[in-house]
Amino acid sequence: MLVAAAAIAGTGLGISFSGGLAAVIERTPAERRAEVSSAYFVVAYLGLSLPVVCDGFAVRAWGLRTASVTFAIAIALLAALCLVAVLAQEARARRAAS
């Protein structure tokens, strides 16, 4: 189950990472694509690594169970917030198109 979960998570991460990069490149003028792509990679890798490093410090301070549950709750809240933002943006786009 762990291998299957890792494969599913890795596939989702790869799809979202490449989709995000494609969206950034699509909206960037040709003469600025290199610097914008570099910034995208820096932000993406910070977004992937910084929470895990912070969780490692939290494990030392609070213990594995408390840190893991806190991390999972924080990620769930962030995902819910992102969902609300995406739905609101789509609703605004539909209203503007009407």
The alpha carbon of residue 75 and the mean position of all alpha carbons in its chain are separated, in whole angstroms, by: 10
pLDDT-based confidence at 8, cuts 50/70/90? very high
Residue spans of the domains in the chain: they are 2-97
Mean of the per-residue pLDDT values of the chain: 94
Q: What is the pTM of this model?
A: 0.67
Task: Please say whether the beta carbons of 17 and 44 come within 8 A.
Answer: yes
Q: Is the pLDDT of residue 48 over 90?
A: no
Higher pLDDT, 87 or 48: 87
DSSP 8-state secondary structure symbol assigned to residue 27:
T
Residue type, 49: S
Mean pLDDT of the 94-98 span:
90
C-alpha 63/C-alpha 68 separation (Å) is 8
Maximal C-alpha separation, the chain: 53
User: Quick one: average pLDDT of 10-33?
Assistant: 93
